[in-house]
Amino acid sequence: MLSLSNICVAYDNKPVVNKVSFSIESGEIGCLLGPSGCGKTSILRAIAGFEPVSEGDIHLRGTLVAGADIHAEPERRKVGVVFQDFALFPHLNVGQNIAFGLHGHSALQKSQRVIELLALVGLPDISERFAHSLSGGQQQRVALARALAPRPDLLLLDEPFSSLDAELREELAQDIRRILKHEGTSALLVTHDQHEAFAMADAIGVLKDGQLLQWASAYQLYHRPADKFVAGFIGQGTLLPGTLIDNSMLQTELGLFQLTAPQVTQFAGAKILDVLVRPDDIVHDDSSTNVAMVLSRAFKGAHILYELALNDDPAFRVLCLAPSHHDHELGERIGIRLDLKHLVMFNA
């Protein structure tokens, strides 16, 4: 449905997006994730047609819509956009807003589509009302309905949840995912919040300083981050230094690890490597003889996130997510067991 190859976007001759490539299949929901200023919004705007690309191509439904020589106007791209501030027209009521993009439809067809969409987004009776009388969540749903009304090939969402309350976000994210899947609409979401990304997207791309570091599913990003930045950005964890022995074994405070064959090739010649240790890799086991000292703790409801010092040495820290009835104090030594399924290592 959507494919970008090596696109660069520049403002005032300063590049903000550098050779980014990814693609989204029909019916798939993608996400561009990254801190502010990483270029994700610029990519979105380039796909929509609000910004030109200085290099590379963008294809929509197999057609070239943007490149160094060609720039199709947004009006022609059949791309729907949901804006951060919703941009609902204040002078039109909800029904008129939603019908705004329906051209060449009869009045009857328009009103039917409006009813259909309002039902879809769960706001059946508000067609006569005006944007200013709606709550944030309602406005967002209307914005979504409006963008979906003309049945676009692709839906773009620019930080759609940033102006909403935190509790609403996940619920809405799941709702929107459900709606999109129901309609079979491909979508690309842009956000800085990984929880939204996890709730909504099939594939996520992590961006930093205009470069795409990794494009994969949430699980892949979490468990097989390609890059130290991705590892640090996604989820939580610590990096444990280890010494490489014989090019095939890594010695760490947690024990000895065996490298796989590809990893041996990858890290040939290296001396010190960092191992990514996620909180779910460390299991709290009172019966274990391995103990670590509690440096800090954070109550999370069902779990407590402990920060532990291996061998009482704060230089070697790991995180441990334990069921919250295991209530231990700071300075206590608690038993732990290693349950590491994915060995993720980076150059030090």
Q: Which residues bind another protein (CB under 8 A)?
A: 48-50, 73-75, 77, 79-81, 83-85, 87, 89-91, 100-101, 103, 130-132, 146-147, 150
Q: C-alpha angle 221/232/342, rounded to 5°?
A: 50
Nearest Cα residue to 252 out of 270, 233, 269, 273: 273
CB of 139 or CB of 238, closer to another protein: 139
Nearest Cα residue to 202 out of 223, 181, 175: 181
Minimal distance, residue 179 CB to another protein, in Å: 18
Residue by residue, DSSP assigns 69-136 as S-B--GGGS-EEEE-TT----TTSBHHHHHGGG--S--HHHHHHHHHHHHHHTT-TT-TT-BGGGS-H
Minimal distance, residue 96 CB to another protein, in Å: 10
CB of 146 or CB of 223, closer to another protein: 146
CB of 143 or CB of 292, closer to another protein: 143
Minimal distance, residue 200 CB to another protein, in Å: 20
**Four-point Cα dihedral 266, 227, 225, 321, nearest 10:** 110
Minimal distance, residue 115 CB to another protein, in Å: 19
Place of tokens 């074994």: 249
Close Cβ partners of 66 (under 8 Å, ≥ 6 residues apart): 7, 46, 47, 49, 52, 53, 57, 58, 72
CB of 61 or CB of 337, closer to another protein: 61
Which 3 state secondary structure label does DSSP give 44? Answer: helix
Minimal distance, residue 243 CB to another protein, in Å: 51
Sheet containing 55-60: order of strands: 14-24, 2-11, 55-60, 63-66
Minimal distance, residue 89 CB to another protein, in Å: 6
CA distance 325 to 116: 48
CB of 91 or CB of 325, closer to another protein: 91
CB of 90 or CB of 323, closer to another protein: 90
CB of 48 or CB of 221, closer to another protein: 48
CB of 61 or CB of 303, closer to another protein: 61
Cβ atoms of 156 and 164 closer than 8 Å: no
Which 3 state secondary structure label does DSSP give 337? Answer: strand
The sign of the torsion formed by the CA atoms of 232, 237, 241, 247 equals negative
Minimal distance, residue 180 CB to another protein, in Å: 17
* Inter-axis angle of helices 136-148 and 107-120, nearest 10: 130
Minimal distance, residue 49 CB to another protein, in Å: 8
